Amino acid sequence: MSIRNGVQLITYADRLGDGNIESLASLLEGPLNGLFTGVHVLPFYYPYDGEDAGFDPIDHTSVDERLGDWNNIKKLGESVDIMADLIVNHMSGQSEAFKDVLKNGRDSAYWPLFLTKEDIFKGSDQTQIDEQIARVFRPRPTPFFSNYEVGTETDTTETVPFWTTFTSNQIDIDVESQLGQEYLSSILTSFTESNVDLIRLDAAGYAIKRAGSNCFMLEETFEFIEELSNRARGMGMQCLVEIHSHYQTQIDIAARCDSVYDFALPPLVLHTLFTKNAEALAHWLSISPRNCFTVLDTHDGIGIVDVGASGDKPGLLDANAINALVEQIHVNSNGESKKATGAAANNVDLYQVNCTYYDALGKDDFAYLVARAIQFFSPGVPQVYYGGLLAAENDMALLAKTNVGRDINRPYLSTAMVKEAVEKPVVKGLMQLIKLRNESDAFNGEFDVSYKNDLLILTWTKDNDAASLRVDFGRMDATIKTLSNGEESVLSIETLLA
């Protein structure tokens, strides 16, 4: 199958519109009509409002009835490409399978489905285990393992430490077990029956654990992702791998799967606009994977690890540049991002800054549209997060209510609020850029990047069609030139705000 090379929307079904999939579809037919060729509907499984905003499913094969059902997903997929999350690494501690383990312990039919400390470190003494655990890559500051009392309805109860890479309610799955394989297959079947075209492999980098390793993106992990991608492809779907890691890892993964995220792009664009220097960005765009999806913002924070060093491997930015980048985000957001990041709020990642992209740029409409233009002209299929589409500001009220750092960029925007937001000049300008990206056939051709004397030029050519973005960082001027059917047009980014 072929995914359309146009701009896609990333959104929750309950946070954009009036709280369900049908309302989301109405927005795509109404004020957002004609903007998107695809939609990534963030977890809509039961429950969509769990501890981790749907990424801790109790039943991954069931649509939460408060949002709709599989028929709503199927109908939505008749007009746009649909992306859905396959949460590879874990399931909820409230799932029926894990509840059965709690009751019956090792006698449970589901015991092999979940990963325990013993499964990986069997035969090692405590000193060896401690040394090996110290090597494991951590995405969050929470403990590796959570102790659960199992066998509560049997004669032999015991306390067992289960792998919980993310939270104590997200129990890691043994994806290499027969039950693990059957579980993933059941989800793929639900997807293929409901017009899902793209599968986002969430947390796939943590799925394979080996004693003595960092348990992240091992060779066995590459093989697992490759095999799962092949299985999905055989069912008519493609896979997008979600990994936050060193940029070389992204390049390596891209060679072995359908597509990856370009997570280096968001911090590099910010760095470029903050410093008025596009050298690092131009270098990255000259080597970045072409089979990628580009984002500036997502339901998570603004990734930093993706441009940093890893061991003796240098990053796309050095430590001083990264520190300056993070500090400028805090300054531009009047300190709001600092309140939502690190120890200031719970449930945050170690490698991300929580802030809307619009606030990260100081609510500068011109800089924001330049950032989007760079994204749309970079190699890959562009995705725009619903908050970013509407230039939403940091939701400090929601952050105060939940104390979940990433909620600063996860607002609830009703249909009425959407209709009001699309009248803002910056949103109107962004919608024009989206339409330009969708309509030019040049973006199906060859890409070229050049940077010299403060001038960044991103160019696409296919046969007689061409599109180029020129950003002069000396004068902070940006223009787009397109050529189609022999007709040339020139668009100044600044005029989009008129």
Strand partners, 162: 116, 146
The superfamily CATH assigns to domain 96-171 is: Oligo-1,6-glucosidase; Domain 2 (3.90.400.10)
- How many H-runs (helices) and E-runs (strands) does the chain carry? 18, 21
**Strand, helix or coil for residue 222:** helix
**Token couple for 330:** 């805090």
- Residues 112, 122: Cα–Cα separation, whole Å: 15
Among the residue ranges 65-74, 204-213, 340-349, the one predicted with the least confidence is: 340-349
| Residue 123 or residue 389, greater confidence | 389
Annotated active-site residue in 14, 202, 258, 262: 202
pLDDT score recorded for residue 498: 85
Confidence tier at 133 by pLDDT (50, 70, 90): confident
Residue 242 labelled as part of a binding site: yes
Residue 312 DSSP code: T
| Percent with pLDDT over 70 in the chain | 98
Residue 352 labelled as part of a binding site: yes
pLDDT digits (tens, 9 = 90+) for 267-322: 999 999 999 999 999 999 999 999 999 999 999 999 998 999 988 999 999 999 99
Residue 60 labelled as part of a binding site: no
Q: How many residues does the chain have?
A: 498
Mean pLDDT along residues 157-168: 95
Global pTM exceeds 0.85: yes
Residue 201 labelled as part of a binding site: yes
- Dihedral over Cα of 358, 13, 435, 291: its sign: positive
N-term to C-term CA, the chain:
41
Q: Do 391 and 424 meet the contact criterion of CB atoms below 8 Å apart?
A: yes
Residue 349 labelled as part of a binding site: yes
pLDDT score recorded for residue 36: 98
Question: Does 349 have pLDDT greater than 80?
Answer: no
pLDDT digits (tens, 9 = 90+) for 478-487: 999 999 988 9
Query: Is 365 marked active-site?
Result: no
Residue 155 labelled as part of a binding site: no
Question: Does 98 have pLDDT greater than 50?
Answer: yes
Mean pLDDT along residues 143-148: 92
Mean pLDDT along residues 453-467: 97
Residue 210 labelled as part of a binding site: no
Confidence tier at 347 by pLDDT (50, 70, 90): very low
| Percent with pLDDT over 90 in the chain | 87
Among the residue ranges 27-41, 338-352, 353-367, 383-397, the one predicted with the least confidence is: 338-352
Query: Is 242 marked active-site?
Result: yes
As a whole number, the mean pLDDT across the chain is: 94
pLDDT score recorded for residue 343: 60
Confidence tier at 346 by pLDDT (50, 70, 90): very low
pLDDT score recorded for residue 125: 78
pLDDT score recorded for residue 407: 95
pLDDT score recorded for residue 129: 80
Q: Do 191 and 183 meet the contact criterion of CB atoms below 8 Å apart?
A: no
Residue 449 DSSP code: E
Question: Does 460 have pLDDT greater than 50?
Answer: yes
Confidence tier at 137 by pLDDT (50, 70, 90): confident
The contacts of residue 299 (CB under 8 Å, 6+ apart) are 10, 12, 42, 53, 385, 406, 409, 410
Residue 140 labelled as part of a binding site: no
Decide if domain 8-91+176-442 falls under CATH 3.40.50.150. Answer: no
Question: Does 348 have pLDDT greater than 50?
Answer: no
Residue 351 labelled as part of a binding site: yes
Residue 368 labelled as part of a binding site: no
Annotated active-site residue in 14, 56, 81, 242: 242
pLDDT digits (tens, 9 = 90+) for 26-62: 999 999 999 999 999 999 999 999 888 899 999 999 9
Mean pLDDT along residues 147-173: 95
- Residues 203, 386: Cα–Cα separation, whole Å: 22
**Token couple for 100:** 């059965």
Residue 297 labelled as part of a binding site: no
Confidence tier at 350 by pLDDT (50, 70, 90): low
**Strand, helix or coil for residue 24:** helix
Side chain identity, residue 277 = N
